[in-house]
Structure 1
Amino acid sequence: MTIANAVKAPDPAKGETEATQRWSRITYWPLAVAAAVFLVTYTVHVVGEVQGDWSILTTAIIAMIWLMFIGEYLVKLRLSDPRRVWFRAHKFELLLALIPALRPVRLLDAVTRLPQFTRTAGNSIRARLLTYGVGSALLLVWYISLLVLQAERGAPGATIDSFGDAVWWAFCTVTTVGYGDLVPVTISGRCAAVVLMVGGVVLVGLVVATISSWVVERASRGHEDEMPASRADVKALTVQLQAAAARVARERSGDSGQDQP
Structure 2
Amino acid sequence: MEDDSPQERWRRRTEIPLAIGSMLFLGAYATKVLAPDMGPGWHHFFMAVILGAWALFAVDYAVRWRMTGSGLKYIRTHWLETLVLLLPLLRPLRVVRLYEAIQMRHGEPRLSLYARVMVYAGLSVLLLGFAGALAVYHHEHLAPGADIRTFGDAVWWTCTTLSTVGYGDMAPVTPVGRLVAVGLMACGLGLLGAVTGSFSSWLIQVFTLEDAKRRARGRR
Q: Percent identity?
A: 37
Question: For the structure 1 residues 83 and 190, does the alpha-carbon distance in structure 2 shift closer, same or farther, using more than 3 Å as the test?
Answer: closer
Q: Which moved more, 1:45-54 or 1:139-148?
A: 45-54
Query: Is 1:38 the counterpart of 2:25 in the alignment?
Result: yes
> 1:19: how far off?
2.9
Question: For the structure 1 residues 114 and 219, does the alpha-carbon distance in structure 2 shift closer, same or farther, using more than 3 Å as the test?
Answer: farther
Matched AA of 1:146: L
Secondary structure at the aligned position of 2:210 is classed as: coil
Q: Where does 1:62-141 land on structure 2 (aligned, <5 Å)?
A: 62-83=50-71, 86-99=74-87, 100-110=91-101, 112-113=103-104, 118=109, 124-141=112-129
Partner of 2:35: 48
> 1:132: how far off?
1.7
Partner of 1:9: 3
Partner of 1:28: 15
2:188, 2:179 → 1: CA distance? 14
Question: For the structure 1 residues 214 and 56, does the alpha-carbon distance in structure 2 shift closer, same or farther, using more than 3 Å as the test?
Answer: same
Please, which runs of 5 or more residues in structure 1 have no aligned partner? 1-7, 11-17, 228-261
- 8 A Cα contact 1:70 1:98, kept in partner: no
Q: What is the CA RMSD across the aligned residues, in angstroms?
A: 2.7
2:102, 2:10 → 1: CA distance? 22
Partner of 1:164: 152
Partner of 1:208: 196
> 1:196: how far off?
0.7
Partner of 2:143: 155
Question: Number of residues paired by the alignment?
Answer: 210
> 1:92: how far off?
2.4
1:134, 1:103 → 2: CA distance? 14
1:20, 1:36 → 2: CA distance? 24
TM-score (norm 2): 0.83
Please, which runs of 5 or more residues in structure 2 have no aligned partner? 216-220
TM-score (norm 1): 0.71
- 8 A Cα contact 1:160 1:184, kept in partner: yes
Matched AA of 2:17: P
Secondary structure at the aligned position of 1:221 is classed as: helix
- 8 A Cα contact 1:169 1:182, kept in partner: yes
Question: For the structure 1 residues 216 and 30, does the alpha-carbon distance in structure 2 shift closer, same or farther, using more than 3 Å as the test?
Answer: same
- 8 A Cα contact 2:147 2:172, kept in partner: yes
Question: For the structure 1 residues 73 and 166, does the alpha-carbon distance in structure 2 shift closer, same or farther, using more than 3 Å as the test?
Answer: same
Query: Is 1:193 the counterpart of 2:181 in the alignment?
Result: yes
Partner of 1:19: 6
1:84, 1:178 → 2: CA distance? 39
Matched AA of 1:68: L
1:191, 1:179 → 2: CA distance? 18
- 8 A Cα contact 1:44 1:50, kept in partner: no
- 8 A Cα contact 2:137 2:154, kept in partner: yes
> 1:167: how far off?
0.8
1:114, 1:157 → 2: CA distance? 51
Question: For the structure 1 residues 113 and 187, does the alpha-carbon distance in structure 2 shift closer, same or farther, using more than 3 Å as the test?
Answer: same
> 1:93: how far off?
2.5
Question: For the structure 1 residues 111 and 199, does the alpha-carbon distance in structure 2 shift closer, same or farther, using more than 3 Å as the test?
Answer: same
Q: For residues 85-129 of structure 1, give each alpha carbon's deviation from its aligned partner in whole angstroms, at most 9, with x where no partner exists.
A: 6555333222233333332231231454388x957xxx7221221
1:97, 1:201 → 2: CA distance? 23
Asked which structure has the greater CA Rg, the reply is 1
